[in-house]
Structure 1
């Protein structure tokens, strides 16, 4: 689930020839991707989601955005399949019934969310987060001295990575 490759991570860490830490590095890459998605309130690596929603009308919202494709809608209890061509889904996850009956009951939505290609700022932010986490584990934990200023190392997303990501997407309940 990482938006960066092992080769990109190893290049960032100047760890290109060492293969001893490959599994751990990919764990860091997955964790960084997840942390960035939580920070942004949106999916940054395209993948498929399955989500159960209790519906009671002609409009509902899916949790993971930006939504790019609605794959299927199935009634959890009834097994009824909904014709997705009669539904419209917006990138913000808003699903509207265009024609036919309203969406009612417990429904299982399968859909694709996330950009086709990660944005360059997000990839670089992921690499910065991975490097930060890696260095704090490898002996640079605690305070980092920057001139006369002491910066605590107890955070996952450094400011420089957060700045690359931009403002989080507003959350709509």
Structure 2
């Protein structure tokens, strides 16, 4: 799943919906824009299931999930499947924005385990969607030689010290990257 649909991207590029000649290539740009936005924000935008392996050692009662924000904690199961932990309240508390998981009651987490959770935003903001469309348009146009790098003035599409794939307009819509765990 992506921040915007293929149809949204075609609308942004003024490509008729019934023109499917470049759909595969354009879908690649849609997927790449989603990854670029998530990397820039340092957060999961499109909701998805994340499975990570953790080593809890001899006993852990708190840890951080790697993909945030957390929508829900689904399961924690030992690698060999011999043990599972209850992940619902009041046994565990999950702080969605930070990804902090705390065992409130019951046994601590031990050994190697797979932790499954849902991460992503429950609502994707208009600024994030527009930034993704701008990135797609930029990638599309540069692929076709329609845009050159122009420095200075209102047409400055490139930001010194940053990569070329994300235009400054998109970066401004996304805002500064917030500190935290990604």
The reply on whether 1:71 has 2:74 as its aligned counterpart is yes
- The answer for the alignment partner of 2:125 in structure 1 is 119
Q: Which structure 1 residue ranges, 4+ long, deviate > 2 Å from structure 2? A: 140-154
In the alignment, structure 1 residue 80 sits paired with structure 2 residue 89 = no
Number of corresponding residues: 173
1:40-119 aligned at under 5 Å gives the runs 40-55=41-56, 56-85=59-88, 86-91=91-96, 92-119=98-125
Describe the SS at the equivalent of 1:143.
Answer: coil
The 1-side partners of 2:174 and 2:164 are apart by: 16
- Superposition RMSD on alpha carbons, in Å? 2.2
Q: Give, in whole Å, the separation in 1 of the partners of 2:156 and 2:63.
A: 48
| Higher deviation after alignment, 78-87 or 41-50 | 78-87
Q: TM-score, normalised by structure 2?
A: 0.86
- Which structure carries more strand by proportion? 1
In structure 2, runs of 5+ residues without a counterpart are none
- 2: distance between equivalents of 1:73 and 1:149? 51
User: 2:157 touches 2:169 (CA, 8 Å); kept in 1?
Assistant: no
| Structure 1 unmatched runs, 5+ | none
- SS of match in other structure, 1:104: coil
Q: Aligned to 2:168, which of 136, 148, 159?
A: 159
Distance change in 2, residues 1:23/1:149 (3 Å): closer
Give the Cα separation in 2 of the matches to 1:163 and 1:152.
12
Task: Note if contact 1:42-1:169 (Cα within 8 Å) is conserved in structure 2.
Answer: no
- Partners of 2:95 and 2:158 in 1: CA distance: 41
